[in-house]
Amino acid sequence: MSRLIWTAVPCARNITAATMADALAESGRGLAIAAAVCDELSVERRRGNLWRLVRRVGPRSM
């Protein structure tokens, strides 16, 4: 049995609008990289954030 523990302030960002940070920036790349490599990216906001990142794997088509 798993239990979810909500420990963060709800995310107020639009995750579908994430863009890559400037080359000299020290942070701000996480969502843009996740959106680039995942097939699905979502966040459920309740008393915190529940992130869902999905990457489908299988045979590559050539």
What single string gives the DSSP state of each residue in 1-62? Answer: -------SPPP-S-GGG--PPPTT-SS--HHHHHHHH-SEEEEEESSSEEEEEE----PPP-
Nearest to 35 by CA among 49, 50, 15: 15
- 45 vs 51: CA distance, rounded Å: 9
How do residues 45-62 score in pLDDT, each as one tens digit? 777 778 888 999 887 655
How do residues 5-46 score in pLDDT, each as one tens digit? 656 777 777 777 778 888 888 887 888 888 888 999 888 877
